[in-house]
A and B are shown apart, each in its own frame.
Chain A
């Protein structure tokens, strides 16, 4: 158990819809990262937040957005969903920045029908 929690575990929705994925970091960690894992693209970094502020962006689509709240939990919002958005979405946390060990949650499996 990494100490990072993600909800929900599974999500099934239709194209065009919007969903929100939630992540609670390990106690004491200030950074939250979001990653997408699909069969053809592997694990891809989406975005990082540090203590409530956006720190770095990766391959995140404009249809996707994220935020980190004062209690440090984070939400990833995916809108206008397409079939290709079906993937595993992982959240990770670390105390500081990228050089720190990242602890990954169990993931949310999103299926877009």
Chain B
């Protein structure tokens, strides 16, 4: 299975943009890039996903490198409520038998 690499933690200030990187150098052509986050004491929550093109939704933007070996989750204006662990996950378009494989993720700390 293709793996992802993320920094263990990042820190940002409230109301500033946050760029969370993810490396996936062994990504296959059919792998979708999904991002989930887990707020303290809650279950994981879907954030965004994409295949090749950059994607935007009300929560965040996803920038995917042209060679698809890396991607960046962008929170345009971080709030204290965005403090969470962010997981970058690859999912094969044909589905898989392994469920969502959560790595250690990036622990995002937001300073007021």
A residues near B (Cβ < 8 Å) are 2, 4, 33, 35, 42-46, 48, 56-58, 90, 92, 97-99, 101-107
Contacts and interface: CB of A to CB of B under 8 A. Distances in A.
Interface of B: 32, 36, 38, 42-46, 49, 87, 91-93, 95-104
Counting from the closest, the 8 A-B pairs by CB-CB distance are A45-B99, A104-B43, A43-B102, A97-B95, A56-B97, A101-B46, A104-B44, A90-B43
Contacts of A57: 97
Chain B binding site: helix, strand, loop or mixed by DSSP?
A: loop
Contacts of B93: 99
12 contacts: A35-B99, A42-B103, A42-B104, A43-B100, A44-B102, A45-B101, A56-B96, A90-B43, A92-B43, A102-B44, A107-B42, A107-B43
Given A56-B97, A102-B44, A103-B46, 19 more contacts: A33-B99, A33-B100, A35-B100, A42-B103, A44-B102, A45-B100, A56-B96, A58-B99, A98-B96, A98-B99, A99-B32, A99-B91, A99-B92, A101-B49, A102-B46, A104-B44, A104-B45, A106-B43, A107-B43
